[in-house]
Amino acid sequence: MTDSRVLHYYQARFIHNLDQFIGEVSLFPEELLWKTPGTISNSAGVLIQHMIGNLNHFFGHALGGTGYTRRRDQEFDADPGTGKSQLEDQLKHSRELVDSVLSEMRMEMLDGDFPAPVFGNETMNCLEFMLHLFHHLSYHAGQLNYLRRAME
């Protein structure tokens, strides 16, 4: 596969998974957004806030130079004052950001170190960490789907 095809494929898969995540959010009932059943600790709203912070930090700040300041601890605080439409808007903005950053990426960037510390203070190859980010998004999309079905 040529370099440009690898990046194009990677971008397409990331955007596809983001669209799936956004689709799950759109299906989630507003009244259940900040609730958790049984022993589940994170509500849909918290999962959404976490993905918004994650994408804006690693794609926006680290790769795109947006200057975004992440407040990771606050991502896990339920904020019932934030409605579903506001979270959807923030997710759509994050999707556009990811798409834009991946559009500008060049193959040689993937071989270098990711431009921000990961997992504490580790350095990691950019391609490896972006693969981690892809799986992280997929993992939380699955959680969101399961949570929605369990609560309906």
Q: What are the tens digits of pLDDT across the range 12-51? A: 999 999 999 999 999 999 999 999 988 999 999 999 999 9
Q: In the chain, how many domains are there?
A: 1
What is the model's pLDDT at position 83? 95
Q: Identify the CATH number of the domain in which residue 42 sits.
A: 1.20.120.450
The fraction of the chain above a pLDDT of 90, given in percent, is 78
**Alpha carbon distances (Å) from 6 to 9, 55, 105:** 5, 21, 11
The C-alpha atoms of residue 25 and residue 89 are separated, in whole angstroms, by 11
Domain that holds residue 97: 3-151
pLDDT over 80 (residue 2): no
DSSP state of 31: G
Q: What's the confidence (pLDDT) of residue 132?
A: 94
